[in-house]
Amino acid sequence: MNEDRLRAAVKSVTAPPRLQARIRSDIRESERKNAWGRYLLPVAAAVLVSLGAGIAYQLGHLRMTTGSQESYIASVSGRVANVMKVGLGDHVHCTVFRKFPKNPPTFEQMVEKLGPDYEGILPLVKDRAPADFRIVMAHRCSYHGRKFVHLALRSDSKLLSLVISLKRDGESFTKENLAPVLSESGIPMFQAGVQRFEIAGFESQKHLVYVVSDLPGPKNMEILTALAPALRDLLNKVKA
Amino acid sequence: MNGDTSQATPLRQAVEIPAADRFEAEAMPHLNDIFRTATRLLGERSRAEDIAQEVYLQAWKSFHRFETGTNCRAWLFKILFHCVNHHRRKWFRFPLLKETEEFLETNLTSSPPIPDQLTDEDILAALDRIPADFRSVVLLVDVEEFSYKEASDILTVPIGTVMSRLSRGRKALREQLTDVARSYGIGKVAGGEV
């Protein structure tokens, strides 16, 4: 058999023009999908990582045992004066290690939880707190056998607590040789910072009052300063 | 310096020319070869079109692995045979022809010369009737003019097997053509009347 004859016979068959068109169309389609893939893949990866981080964050909170919470609070509190530990401990215990519900309680529910002596704090804080913070919790709690009036405020990822507690055994900022950083309407203001927490405090006749947050120190102090005069007047009227 | 320039050119091309353009230039010119080989392997133009389309899509998807300057045609044929083997298992639940030694023993008793008066259709029909393994090698070596080594790489079989199948394929084709010629009453072949 002559190979040229065979070759000529086989090569007499040619691909139909529509086949080229189909192939080019396939390639264009594949390119289009790949282009989407190029954009979608990083986006999907970012979403997954965020989701994973969110879940890990949430689970981390849920799984943190009381022991490890206490250990953390002790390690943080160990570096501030005793009188500052009071506000910081309750903030970390009650605000930081808490999973807040999506829908905070209503104003009326919070009023009810604070009780008649302290319910006046709510409108006061609502009026004077920075506009981007909203009250997500207001209640009376206890920590290490000590009772607190506690308001938690939130702005995106920032947390802020207004912590109020009755003085014990003549507790005072000045007794611990702390120097006021400023005075507002004759009220000395005290400040401390440890790790990411900023603590600003003052005292009324019977109460120690703290604003604790992860805001910068001056901003944290500014919030306390805005609250202090009215808050002191209100607390001084509370019957012990 | 000249040597450096000649070496740098393909690299620069690989970097600068979009993949779709390179694919168009390197792969598309071989479409006819792929299509007609697929037609002869499968015996149907419509299936051959589907397979050729699949070959090119697969080639495009793995084109980033293809090295510019290497044998694109052989690479496409390798993909073609991969696709054909894959689909043959699916399409042909039983062999269309008996592709064993038996076929040769019963069909190849002699190696007669082939009459010249046959048409392209006669030749193609005869080619389509020989066992697929032999037909593949005949198509690659005799029609597409690949070397034994290239055919061995494309089919993933040893060179010895390529040579053996080629020899048997050629004989089988001659036999088929002799039969066609005989049916036409064309000429006489050695050792008998056809």
Which ipTM score applies to this complex? Answer: 0.73
- CATH code (residue B32): 1.10.1740.10
Closest CA to A133 of A97, A171, A95: A95
Residues B130 and B161 in one domain: yes
- CATH code (residue B135): 1.10.10.10
A161-216 pLDDT per residue, tens: 999 999 998 899 988 878 888 888 899 999 999 888 999 999 999 999 999 999 99
Residues B40 and B110 in one domain: no
Tokens of B81: 């045979």
3-state secondary structure of B15: helix
Domain endpoint, select from B91, B114, B130: B91
Does B56 reside within a domain?
yes
Q: Distance between CA atoms of A49 and B90, rounded to whole angstroms?
A: 42
* Continuous segment of H or E residues that includes residue A172: none
Q: Distance between CA atoms of A206 and A204, rounded to whole angstroms?
A: 6
Residues B44 and B113 in one domain: no
Nearest to B123 among A5, A15, A20 (CB): A5
B106-143 pLDDT per residue, tens: 554 445 555 667 888 889 999 999 999 999 999 999 99
Q: Compute how many other C-beta atoms are within 10 angstroms of the C-beta atom of residue B82.
A: 15
Residues B144 and B179 in one domain: yes
Measured between CA atoms, how close is B2 to chain A, in angstroms?
37
Using CA atoms of A79, A80, A83, A84 in order, give the dihedral in degrees to the nearest 10: -120
Does B2 reside within a domain?
no
Domain endpoint, select from B64, B91, B118: B91
Residues B107 and B166 in one domain: yes
Q: What residue of B is the nearest CA neighbor of A18?
A: B49
Nearest to B142 among A3, A26, A30 (CB): A3
| Stronger pLDDT, A56 or A55, i.e. the higher one | A55
Structural domain including B55 reads 16-91
pTM higher than 0.90? no
Q: How many domains does chain B have?
A: 2
Residues B22 and B50 in one domain: yes
Does B4 reside within a domain?
no
Does B189 reside within a domain?
no
Contacts of B145 in chain A (CB under 8 A): 7
B42-87 pLDDT per residue, tens: 888 999 999 999 999 999 999 988 887 789 999 999 999 999 988 8
Residues B136 and B111 in one domain: yes
Average predicted confidence (pLDDT) for chain A: 87
Does B192 reside within a domain?
no
Residues B117 and B75 in one domain: no
- The yes-or-no verdict on residue A115 having pLDDT over 60 is yes
Residues B124 and B59 in one domain: no
Interface test with A, best of B119, B120, B136, B137 (most A CBs within 10 A): B120
